[in-house]
């Protein structure tokens, strides 16, 4: 499942966590599954950063981190007592509305560079509570004009920063155990190989097909979050 999750994320920039998290929840329970997922996602995103390093848009990363780091710390500290079910369902509805908005709007506005600070704050806070909000971030990266390798690599680097910050908060809040670190690290080989396979796939995808795949995955993630909540 880790291999399939990493391959999907390497093609779409997200979705891997939504695929892997239910399996981890069954095996470990919600409170331990999310820290384990964070460790695994740190490896998966780190490998996508490396495979797409030449196309990364660093100004986007800088503005995202500006809002994302403090919000991830706050969300990580609140994780132990947060009402996860309500947040998960709200996120699912929001994802479906985002896709509809992209198609109903005559001319979707371009995402401003400084807007990534707001995106970083919102997505990092929710990620610390829910484990993954990659589908939430995707439409905004697309609206900025990033596609294929530029989108995958830039989104992956912002997510690496977000996950590192979350792990610090989880550790301080005593929800990151040695067992969670070991279990997450054990998925490293599958995550790296999956990222490599996904990179080979996305290099061969036309831009139009790439965006359709992302939107279909957004809808699927939205339905999953509504159902899982």
Domain spans of the chain, in order of start: 2-228
Read off the pTM.
Answer: 0.74
Question: Does 35 score more than 90 pLDDT?
Answer: no
Q: Among 41-45, 67-71, 133-137, 194-198, which is the least confidently predicted range?
A: 133-137
- Structure letter (DSSP) for residue 147: -
Q: What percent of the chain has pLDDT over 90?
A: 23
pLDDT tens, position by position, 169-180: 888 877 778 888
Question: What does the alpha-carbon distance between residue 14 and residue 42 come to, in Å, rounded to a whole number?
Answer: 13
What's the confidence (pLDDT) of residue 113?
94
Closest CA relative to residue 119, chosen from 139, 137, 143: 137
Q: Which residues contact 133 (CB under 8 A, 6 or more apart)?
A: 91, 123, 126, 127
Other Cβ atoms less than 10 A from the Cβ of 120: the count is 27
């Amino acid at each position: 499942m880790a291999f399939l999750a990493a391959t999907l994320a390497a093609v779409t920039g997200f979705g891997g966590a939504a695929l892997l998290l239910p399996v981890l929840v069954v095996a470990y329970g919600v409170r331990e599954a999310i820290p384990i997922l964070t460790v695994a996602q740190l490896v998966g995103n780190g490998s996508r950063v490396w495979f797409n390093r030449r196309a990364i848009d660093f100004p986007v990363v800088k503005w995202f981190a500006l809002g994302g780091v403090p919000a991830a710390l706050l969300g990580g500290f609140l994780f132990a007592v947060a009402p996860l079910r309500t947040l998960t369902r709200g996120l699912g509805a929001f994802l479906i509305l985002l896709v509809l908005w992209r198609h109903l709007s005559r001319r979707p506005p371009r995402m401003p560079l400084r807007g990534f600070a707001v995106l970083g704050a919102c997505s990092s806070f929710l990620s610390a509570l829910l484990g993954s909000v990659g589908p939430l971030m995707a439409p905004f990266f697309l609206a900025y004009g990033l596609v294929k390798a530029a989108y995958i690599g830039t989104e992956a680097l912002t997510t690496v920063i977000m996950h590192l910050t979350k792990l610090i908060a989880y550790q301080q809040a005593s929800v990151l155990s040695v067992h969670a670190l070991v279990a997450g690290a054990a998925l490293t080989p599958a995550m790296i190989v999956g990222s490599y396979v996904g990179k080979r796939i996305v290099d061969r995808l036309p831009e139009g097909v790439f965006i359709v795949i992302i939107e279909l995955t957004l809808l699927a993630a939205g339905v999953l979050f509504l159902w899982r909540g």
